[in-house]
Amino acid sequence: MTKKTKAETKREAILAKSEEIIKAAPPAKRPNAGQPPAYETSLELSTAIEGYFIQCQERTRPFVTMTGKVVEVKSPAPLHITGLCCFLGISDETLNNYEKRGDDDENQQYFGSVITRAKKKCENYAVDQLFEGQKGNKADFVLKNNFRWEDKMKTDLSLEGNIIAQIHEGRRRAGLIEDE
C-alpha cells in the first residue's frame, strides 16, 4: 500500500465532507413556504463546490493498452455550471439565486462571492479549452451562452458631409456620369 500525500489526504477529507453535507442537508426553519435552502452557510456551500472541482480533477477512465490490459487513466472531467449544479443537487436557478443573495458580512455568509468564484473557475476552464483549439471544441458556444461573451463587429455608419454630393462624386469618378 502506498503512503498518501498531504494533498491526497486533504482531497479525500474535502470530498468526504462535501458528501456528508449533501446527504445531511437538514430542513431549515423558515416562516415562508417553499423548499428550504440546500445550504445554510457559505462554508457548507464552498466545501461542496470544492468537492465538485476535486471530483472533476480526479476522474479516471478505462484505457486498453497495446497488450490488451485495461488500466485506469486519469482524465479530468470538464468544469461546467451544469455539472456543478448536478453535484450540488440544486438547479441552475437556485445557484443564481444564491449568487444574487450577495454577501452578508453581519452573519459571515458569503454566498455571492462563493458562487461567483465557482462560476469564474468554470469560465476559465472554457477559455482554456478555447485557446487549446481542439477540433469540435464548443467552448465558444459555452462562453457566449453561459457567460455572456459576444462576437463584436464594429461597423461605422456615420456619414460626413452632404450624402448627395458624395454619391454624385462617386458616380463621376466611376465614369457613370459626365463632368459638368
* Mean pLDDT of the region 104-124: 81
Higher pLDDT, 163 or 88: 88
Domains and CATH numbers, the chain: 6-152 (1.10.132)
Q: Give me the percent of the chain exceeding a pLDDT of 70.
A: 78
* Mean pLDDT of the region 139-162: 71
* Mean pLDDT of the region 39-56: 90
Give yes or no for a contact between 116 and 103, defined as CB atoms under 8 angstroms apart: no
Using alpha carbons, list the distances in angstroms from residue 48 to 41, 42, 54, 66: 11, 10, 10, 39
Q: Per the structure block, which three cell numbers stand in for 144?
A: 457566449
What is the rounded distance in angstroms from the CA atom of residue 111 to the CA atom of residue 96?
10
Q: Per the structure block, which three cell numbers stand in for 109?
A: 455568509
- 63-95 pLDDT, tens digit each: 999 999 999 999 889 999 999 999 999 998 889
- 11-32 pLDDT, tens digit each: 788 777 777 766 665 554 544 5
Using alpha carbons, list the distances in angstroms from residue 143 to 12, 34, 75, 104, 122: 31, 33, 22, 29, 10
